[in-house]
């Protein structure tokens, strides 16, 4: 999968949430000041060219839908993160999260319970 820019990723997330939509649908949900239709249309076409979206044409209106699942994209991003910043070690990633003090004891226990359950 080709890497996405932050803006491309934000638009892809919006499309995952909607499941299918037009460029106008996307713009409607964006905060003010609204971006130009041509700007969002360009991002959507880039996402389609990169293989993340496809479309159905209804006359001159295109409805876009994701062809890459959010879970698959997330898995790829996490794998890249682990490779790029943690020498390919999931253990190093988890260690970093725990040491960062953003994870409560309760969250750690929940994670350990999930790991135990998934390992069975």
Residue 32 within any structural domain of the chain: yes
List the one residue out of 42, 33, 57 whose CA is nearest residue 11. 42
Decide: helix, strand or coil at residue 119.
helix
48 and 93 in a single domain? The answer is no
107 and 57 in a single domain? The answer is no
Residue 1 confidence (pLDDT) above 80 = no
The total number of structural domains in the chain stands at 2
Cis, peptide link before residue 33, omega less than 30° from 0: yes
60 and 10 in a single domain? The answer is yes
Return the pLDDT at 85: 93
The predicted model gives 67-80 an average pLDDT of 94
106 and 61 in a single domain? The answer is no
Return the pLDDT at 105: 83
59 and 90 in a single domain? The answer is no
11 and 61 in a single domain? The answer is yes
Q: pLDDT tens across 9-24, in order?
A: 999 999 999 999 999 9
107 and 55 in a single domain? The answer is no
Q: CA geometry: angle at 48 spanning 55 and 5, to 5°?
A: 140
Domain harbouring 12, CATH code: 1.10.10.10
Domain extent, residue 19, equals 6-66
What band does 91 get if pLDDT is binned at 50, 70 and 90?
Answer: confident
The predicted model gives 81-90 an average pLDDT of 92
Determine which of 19-28, 36-45, 46-55, 99-108 has the lowest per-residue pLDDT on average: 99-108
* pTM greater than the 0.85 cutoff: no
Residue 78 within any structural domain of the chain: no
Structure tokens at 83: 């490779």
Beta bridge partners of 21: 64
Decide: helix, strand or coil at residue 65.
strand
The string of DSSP codes covering 5-22 is -HHHHHHHHHHHHHSSB-
DSSP state of 30: S
Return the pLDDT at 2: 85
What band does 88 get if pLDDT is binned at 50, 70 and 90?
Answer: very high
57 and 99 in a single domain? The answer is no
Cα distance from N-terminal residue to C-terminal residue, the chain? 32
């Amino acid at each position: 999968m080709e890497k996405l820019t932050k803006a491309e990723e934000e638009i892809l997330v919006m499309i995952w949430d909607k499941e299918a939509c037009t460029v106008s649908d996307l713009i409607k949900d964006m905060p003010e000041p609204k971006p130009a239709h041509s700007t969002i249309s360009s991002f959507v076409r880039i996402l389609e060219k990169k293989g993340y979206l496809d479309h159905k044409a209804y006359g001159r209106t295109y409805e876009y839908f994701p062809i890459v699942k959010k879970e698959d994209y997330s898995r790829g991003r996490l794998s890249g993160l682990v490779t790029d910043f943690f020498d390919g070690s999931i253990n190093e990633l988890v260690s970093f999260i725990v040491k960062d003090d953003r994870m409560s004891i309760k969250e750690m226990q929940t994670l350990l319970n999930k790991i135990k359950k998934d390992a069975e």
